Chain A
């Protein structure tokens, strides 16, 4: 079965410290992987995407993610958290593209402590 798992429902970090949001997937195929961010009462914004090119992907607002096939992981990182990063983050997988919809993880709520 194909699935995506976000390992933490909540992550709390202090402003200026690193952020790590974890994501693992299960698939028989090589998936396309995305991270989306949702700020309170807002829509979904694409942070970054992996589509079988470089395994280290850089996104907007200083976020990065590394695709590790051996670990079936696609963890999201940022060296230094900012208060404006507080939001819900979704790891998202496209297993076949096109007609099939995206599969979302349950989300990780990122809290930034001042």
Chain B
């Protein structure tokens, strides 16, 4: 069964540094998403991406965040200048083209900002 993959599984970075989190979506899925889960809290929607542009974004997704699909395969989330509060698990998800709104989640990247 096809699955969403994410790399790295764990990223440690210093405050102020830039990080890029990578996702490889399922090949025939058209909508892509990033979610964030701060330790002990619920999963929160960050952004959705369709046809090479942002479709929707939450208030969390401010100017320090950006997304792109640089090579038609990877889907990336860039955090320009990381803050301590960016430490979280970041999940990539893709929408199945079946009309039932089912999203497939990757295993996540745990980002630790020190």
A residues at B contact (CB < 8 Å): 32, 34, 36, 42-46, 49, 51, 90, 94, 97-107
Q: Mark B63-96, 1 if CB is under 8 A from A, else 0.
A: 0000000000000000000000000000101010
CB distance from B23 to the nearest CB of A (A): 12
Q: Mark B32-64, 1 if CB is under 8 A from A, else 0.
A: 010100000111111110100001101000000
- Contact partners of A43 in chain B: CB under 8 A: 91, 105-108
Interchain Cβ contacts under 8 Å between A and B, 27 examples? A32-B100, A43-B91, A43-B106, A43-B108, A44-B43, A44-B108, A45-B105, A46-B104, A49-B102, A51-B100, A51-B101, A94-B101, A98-B31, A98-B55, A99-B55, A100-B48, A101-B35, A101-B46, A101-B48, A101-B58, A102-B33, A102-B45, A102-B103, A103-B45, A104-B42, A104-B44, A106-B42
- Contact partners of B100 in chain A: CB under 8 A: 32, 49, 51
- Contact partners of A103 in chain B: CB under 8 A: 45
Main secondary structure of the interface of B (DSSP, over half): strand
Which residue of chain A is the closest to B30 with respect to CB atoms? A98
Residues B43 and A34 in contact, CB atoms below 8 Å apart: no
Residues B50 and A99 in contact, CB atoms below 8 Å apart: yes
Residues B101 and A99 in contact, CB atoms below 8 Å apart: no
Residue among A42, A44, A51, A101 making CB contact with B56, cutoff 8 Å = A101
C-alpha spacing A43/B92, complex, angstroms: 10
C-alpha spacing A49/B106, complex, angstroms: 18
The interface centre, meaning the residue of A100, A101, A102, A107 with most chain B CB atoms within 10 A of its CB, is A101
C-alpha spacing A32/B102, complex, angstroms: 9
C-alpha spacing A45/B102, complex, angstroms: 11
Residues B31 and A99 in contact, CB atoms below 8 Å apart: yes
Residues B95 and A104 in contact, CB atoms below 8 Å apart: no
- Contact partners of A99 in chain B: CB under 8 A: 31, 48, 50, 55-56
- Contact partners of B106 in chain A: CB under 8 A: 43
Residues A104 and B43 in contact, CB atoms below 8 Å apart: yes
- Contact partners of B55 in chain A: CB under 8 A: 98-99
CB distance from B90 to the nearest CB of A (A): 11
Which residue of chain B is the closest to A31 with respect to CB atoms? B101
